[in-house]
Amino acid sequence: MVIFLIHSTLAPTWEELGKEMKSHENVVIAKFDATANEVDVPGLAVQGFPTIYFFKGNDKAHPKKYEEGRNVEDFVKFLESNAHHSFVHEEL
């Protein structure tokens, strides 16, 4: 499972990423507005927006702050390298 915290500036890219990952049942691309919801997860420090975190399926207690590129290809590459369940992704 993958959950990211995201702000509206990345919304179009996030929607595209969601479409790209739709066929991967073990990958969840989600939006969470930290300005409208409490963030009560140990280890999560939302200090600016957009802030993106990755929760690995087999280690949700230790979220990883995402600090790489902000386009669909960068997100897919990160997921391919970090997701608990491996997957093959067709070229974008």
What is residue 36's predicted lDDT score, i.e. its pLDDT? 76
User: What are the boundaries of each domain within the chain?
Assistant: 8-38+46-82
Q: Is the domain defined by 8-38+46-82 classed in CATH 3.20.20.140?
A: no
Residue 19 backbone class (left: φ over 0; alpha: ψ -120 to 50; beta: rest) = alpha
Each residue's pLDDT tens digit, 15-71: 999 999 888 888 888 877 777 777 777 777 777 777 788 888 888 788 888 889 999
What's 23-37 look like in SS3? CCCCCCCCCCCCCCC
What is residue 89's predicted lDDT score, i.e. its pLDDT? 52
